[in-house]
Amino acid sequence: MATVEQVGRRVSAAEAREVAEAAREKEWAAASFVRDLFLGKFRVDLIHPYPQTDPEEDARARPFLAALEKFLREKVDADRIDREGEIPPEVIAGLKELGAFGIKIPREYGGLGLSQISYMRAMELVASVCGSLTALLSAHQSIGVPQPLKLFGTEEQKKTYFPRLARGAVSAFALTEPGVGSDPAAMETTAVPSEDGTAWILNGEKLWCTNGPVADLVVVMARTPSKIVDGKEKRQITAFLVDTSWPGVEVGHRCDFMGLKAMYNGALRFHNVRVPRENVLWGEGKGLKLALVTLNTGRLTLPITTVAAGKNCLRISREWAAERVQWGRPIGKHDAIAQKIGAMAASTFAAEAVAELCGFLSERGYDIRLEAAIAKLYNSETGWRIIDDTVQIRGGRGYETADSLRARGEKPVPVERIMRDFRINLIFEGSSEIMHLFIAREALDRHLQIAGDLIVPGTSGSEKLRAFVRAALFYAWWYPSRWLGWSRWPRYREFGTLAGHLRFVERSARRLARGVFHCMVRHGPKLEHRQALLFRLVDVGAELFAMAAVCARAQMLLRSDGAAGERAVRIADLFCQHARRRVRLKFKGLWSNDDVPTYGLAQEVLRGEHLWLEQGVVNRN
Ligand SMILES: Cc1cc2nc3c(=O)[nH]c(=O)nc-3n(C[C@H](O)[C@H](O)[C@H](O)COP(=O)(O)OP(=O)(O)OC[C@H]3O[C@@H](n4cnc5c(N)ncnc54)[C@H](O)[C@@H]3O)c2cc1C
């Protein structure tokens, strides 16, 4: 019988990189706005005119969204769910009844067959009411079985599982293990072919599996026997569709977190679980790629939940800042609070533009892997700032629980819960750091294709010579053209007052492309380790994408609804002013920063050279 040697040892950085590279999508078959942006090309035609929902789709989604909204309003008590740590069975049953577990599952298999945008609208409604419910529905549909099944399932698999899922069978996605977080190379869950070859035998333990404790079906990633390619061992990770009723599947500890108190999240154990051969998803060795591709659209749920948080916070801040009087004036009249509210309004508009545009671009068939990563990164970080400001604006009441406020006879505004529930968004489905690295890798991709052999150690003399010729030919045209452009001319006139911002995006895209190139030339292979520099480049790209999305959306609103559109344009204008300042600062930081001494101090801390800083407190851990 084939075996998979256990990976009890640490995986080296090179091995980890190799596994990640093998899973990377290397082709760019469809257009990508952000990839072009990093290369200095501003493809406004890809986002303008701003896409709109198909009226037929709108008409089909409307009754479902209306029923969902009514259900959430009348039947869901989010404070109770948070307090008790359980979602009442009747709430889950009601959501199943509405079809909320099969929003994107095609109609021929019993689902609602709605689009990505309609799904996002539904998740915005859910997220505006209850984080734990959002986790349940999103883990099931964004990363759980329906999405990879739709993308990679065989007809047989779809016929077997879609109807069950549409009826409300709960699903989950199990990748993480105690030793496997952001880096999957050290995966220890294994699957080996059974002796008769009809099944795989699955063994191992998964951690933090959202919906795991209540799931009927789980996508499980496991190591399968390595392949030898060109004399080298290539690790294989394969995705399996596992029914939790099968013998050997066991639910372990249900985890309890800072927030999302009623999320069903826990460890799953697999002991000699016999998985039929036909339950491999996509193919042997394609598991990690499946996870990454699934997440390209799966990642769009978190950005839209940020929009829900932003809208709630804006309302809460508006009401409180008008009502609360201190020092003789409503606090909203004090400049410090007003600044926060102004920025919050602009950021909420931007978060919606970013999330919605990504949803539309994915429906148009564009390659949105970078857009989705930016949306996840940008919106979750923006959302956290908005919530932090809302807590501050609410003062002591921002820190008090809704139950305690209610008990004192005050309005039970749940800012404290919103903050606890939101924090995980910066960690799961690709932490902020991993999103930065993922985007940076793709931003550098074209340069690595052209000149990688020149800077990567270990390439032969002839490879270096070939790379030199290739780079000389490419950069002779590319580099000067990143300096020349017409973006100070009166272009983009149809955007009215926003045209100047789009010209800034165009100019800055060229500056960004030059920045990427200059960093590569200056730091060579060491650039990989200069994460703070790479992150600044990514942050500039993210701001430029947000600016473009905001301008395109405001322009669309202006055309479709004059008065509201004019207000949107003013907000977009302010957002772009804020973003331009942030972009300038990030560019400046590329050449003037304290990254090296800061890294140095961190290493001293890690070596224990500054334990004196930690003295004077009680250490009980
Ligand atoms: C509430 C919750 C729900 C979850 N749901 C699921 C689920 O349904 N299915 C599932 O499979 N997993 C799930 N996870 C796991 C989640 O996806 C991981 O927590 C996440 O991938 C990060 O892994 P980690 O926590 O092990 O952090 P680590 O990977 O150990 O990272 C720790 C810190 O180091 C940073 N870091 C790591 N590598 C680098 C690097 N190369 N450069 C710079 N910084 C780096 C990270 O960003 C992070 O800040 C869930 C986790 C939680 C807490």
- Residues 107, 238, single domain; the answer is no
Q: Is the pLDDT of residue 262 over 90?
A: yes
> What pLDDT was estimated at residue 211?
97
CA of 559 to the centre of ligand 1 (A): 43
Q: Is residue 576 very low, low, confident or very high in pLDDT (cuts 50, 70, 90)? A: very high
Mean pLDDT of the 136-159 span: 95
Q: Band the pLDDT of 361: cuts 50, 70, 90.
A: very high
Q: Is 424 in the pocket of ligand 1 (CB under 6 A)?
A: yes
Write down which residue in 261, 285, 309 finishes a domain. Answer: 285
Q: Average pLDDT of 294-303? A: 91
* Residues of the domain holding 536: 453-603
Split into its structural domains, the chain has a count of 4
User: Which CATH number fits the domain that encloses residue 125?
Assistant: 1.10.540.10
Whether the Cβ atoms of residue 398 and residue 377 lie closer than 8 Å to each other: no
* Res 230: pLDDT: 80
Instruction: Give Cβ neighbours of residue 171 (< 8 Å, ≥ 6 apart).
Output: 139, 140, 144, 145, 146, 165, 211, 215, 216, 217, 218, 219
Q: CA geometry: angle at 27 spanning 550 and 355, to 5°?
A: 20
The pTM of the full predicted model, rounded to 2 decimals, is 0.94
Of the residues 167, 200, 235, which one is the last residue of a structural domain? 167
Mean pLDDT of 271-295: 94
Q: Which of 352, 429, 442, 506 is the catalytic position?
A: 429
Taking residues 436-463, what's their average pLDDT? 83
Q: Which residues are CB-neighbours of 433 under 8 A, at least 6 positions away?
A: 182, 531
For β-strands 232-243 and 280-281, DSSP reports them as antiparallel
Tell me: do 174 and 281 sit in the same domain.
Answer: yes
395 and 457 assigned to the same domain: no
Residues 185-199: tens digit of each pLDDT: 889 999 999 999 999
Please indicate, yes or no, whether residues 370 and 396 belong to a single structural domain of this protein. Answer: yes
**Mean confidence (pLDDT) of the chain:** 93
For residues 124 and 227, state if they share a domain.
no
Cis peptide before 106 (omega within 30 of 0): no
- CA-CA distances (angstroms) from residue 294 to 30, 32, 381? 17, 17, 22
CB 231 within 8 A of CB 221: no
Ranges 158-167, 230-239, 311-320, 397-406: which has the least confidence: 230-239
Mean pLDDT is lowest, of 168-177, 369-378, 477-486, 583-592, for: 477-486
pLDDT of residue 486: 66
Asked if 323 is an active-site residue, the reply is: no
- Confirm or reject: Cβ of 428 under 6 Å from ligand 1: yes
pLDDT tier at 534 (50, 70, 90 boundaries)?
A: very high
CA-based nearest residue to 508, from 470, 533, 541 = 541
Q: Tens digit of pLDDT for each residue in 316-334?
A: 999 999 999 999 999 999 9
Predicted local distance difference test score (pLDDT) of residue 487: 60
Helices (H), strands (E): how many in the chain?
Answer: 22, 10
With respect to residue 21, please indicate whether it lies within any of the assigned structural domains: no
Question: Terminus-to-terminus CA distance in the chain, angstroms?
Answer: 45
Q: Are residues 561 and 510 in the same domain?
A: yes
pLDDT at 8: 44
Q: Distance, CA 174 to ligand 1 centroid (Å)? A: 13
- 281, 316: one domain: no
Q: How confident is the model at residue 2 (pLDDT cuts 50, 70, 90)?
A: low
pLDDT digits (tens, 9 = 90+) for 191-246: 999 999 999 999 999 999 999 999 999 999 999 998 888 888 888 999 999 999 99
Q: Which of 171, 256, 428, 429 to mutate to test the pocket of ligand 1 (most atoms within 8 A of CB)?
A: 428
Same domain, 279 and 307: no
b/e sequence 333-359, b meaning 16+ C-beta within 10 Å: eeeebeebbebbbbbbbbbbbbbbbbb
One domain, residues 122 and 140: yes
User: How far is Cα 161 from Cα 220, in angstroms, rounded to an integer?
Assistant: 15
158 lies in some domain? yes
CA distance 284 to 238: 5
Which DSSP state fits 331? G
Nearest to 48 by CA among 551, 404, 520: 551
